[in-house]
Structure 1
């Protein structure tokens, strides 16, 4: 009896592994184990806290355009679990819904717009588009909007000067910003790390100057939408 229970629990636990095995194997083969590990983010815990997405089996069809969810500051992939379930209830599958976690669970006054986070999201967009052989839709929230925009734009990171490469515009059909950090924050004390003038969140930082003065118009995708309200100041 104990053996049966343990087998059952192991099955349930593995059923909640972050990426589906087929997607994980694809990441390892195409991008290497290091990139796959950084995108899966098992350090965030299980039950889809660090990431989710992938086909349940090799020949599972992709009927809907894949959606990539990009979380905001102080959060992780688990932020999107209720949204994921909403899409599943409406006919989407795990092969069409993807998320990873960038950065650490930092608060608003310490989190900066780091090149390593931009690189993670850029790699993820590239991976999902290649894996599904499809353009993708991106749903980004708060700071995730800024990170995703730079990931698509490419070019040099302002904090490391690493060249990310050309824009990914052709891979993105729809870009939806929700309460997005698009222009930065007007009032931000430089006493806080997040308010630095290089890769911080002030609207005059080098990061926001870069993403908002790009020579490419509408580089985020074919269709651009934003959801905000009168209280959003970013």
Structure 2
């Protein structure tokens, strides 16, 4: 059973979250007044990801007079990506549909590709990444005072699911706090490897992380799905409960996804346990499943329907 967010046991976490994210990140990232000042410069640098320039993060008011007309959205990127790439492109689309900058938020939980096409092998669902996404969710809630929507893509789906679930990190044992379920109106997971990844060999799907020889496939925080039905500790943790990601839970995925695949150990890997609906494409690749589904994402978060 998922316990609700425990205010008493999580106040220290919340205080850290607010300090880390509601900042005066001006030109390069989360712009605006913020509601907490005087944050240590090292913390501000880490939260705004100024080290990544304009790609590090985005979101926030440009003046105190701005009011929300839409529920805020938190975007969570995938491997070898930053807030300023695919998520920023998505934000531009949502702006064309009436959203404002202070209603759209994202941060970078690793460092992107850094010019290395093989950078993805270094990723995992580490506690530090989960904490950063969780901090952004809590801070956005406190900053806006509204329930919010989460749109996550690729590895960002399991990372953000754990950020919402809370509990203990499987790698460090740190206690994150209770679930943030009541803060989330709609959760949309796009092309997420919730049960690992699969490869197509001769028309047969086999686990892509059968062996834990690279970080992204490790058996603790990786996408390990070894010999069916084994999964990494992280994947077991987020999949043993359901319905905690928000009031409304949706997934979007493709049968021809060349990155995460479709079936892993006879499970559709991008489905989310307890979801209320899904959009399935027949032939889109991994990235296009995200880029070509913004209108579907919008219907899911606004009207809670699949179109």
Give TM-score, length-normalised by structure 2. Answer: 0.66
Tell me the equivalent position of 1:91. 98
From 184, 198, 203, give the equivalent of 2:196.
184
How many positions carry a matched residue from both structures? 214
Matches within 5 A, 1:197-212: 197-203=219-225, 204-212=231-239
Report which stretch shifted further, 197-206 or 128-137. 197-206
Tell me the equivalent position of 1:38. 46
From 201, 214, 218, give the equivalent of 1:196.
218
* Contact 1:27-1:33 at 8 Å conserved across structures: no
From 68, 71, 81, give the equivalent of 1:62.
68
Cα deviation, residue 143, structure 1 = 0.3
Quickly say closer, same or farther: Cα 1:108–1:70, change in 2 above 3 A: same
Q: Give the Cα–Cα distance (whole angstroms) in 1 for the partners of residues 26 and 232 of structure 2.
A: 43
* Contact 1:173-1:222 at 8 Å conserved across structures: yes
Q: Helix, strand or coil: the match of 1:177?
A: strand
Cα deviation, residue 35, structure 1 = 4.3
Cα deviation, residue 21, structure 1 = 2.8
Quickly say closer, same or farther: Cα 1:195–1:91, change in 2 above 3 A: same
Q: Helix, strand or coil: the match of 1:139?
A: strand
From 129, 141, 156, give the equivalent of 2:141.
129
Cα deviation, residue 202, structure 1 = 1.4
Cα deviation, residue 37, structure 1 = 2.8
Q: Give the Cα–Cα distance (whole angstroms) in 2 for the partners of residues 27 and 148 of structure 1.
A: 24
Quickly say closer, same or farther: Cα 1:229–1:101, change in 2 above 3 A: same
* Contact 1:27-1:35 at 8 Å conserved across structures: no
* Contact 1:76-1:105 at 8 Å conserved across structures: yes
Quickly say closer, same or farther: Cα 1:151–1:87, change in 2 above 3 A: same
Tell me the equivalent position of 1:71. 77
Tell me the equivalent position of 1:3. none
From 229, 235, 250, give the equivalent of 1:225.
250
From 116, 119, 126, give the equivalent of 2:128.
116
* Contact 2:28-2:53 at 8 Å conserved across structures: no
- Larger relative strand fraction: 2
Q: Helix, strand or coil: the match of 1:125?
A: helix
Q: Helix, strand or coil: the match of 1:182?
A: coil
Report which stretch shifted further, 78-87 or 68-77. 78-87
Tell me the equivalent position of 1:8. none
Flag structure 2 segments of 5+ consecutive residues without an equivalent. 1-24, 114-118, 198-206, 226-230, 262-268, 270-307
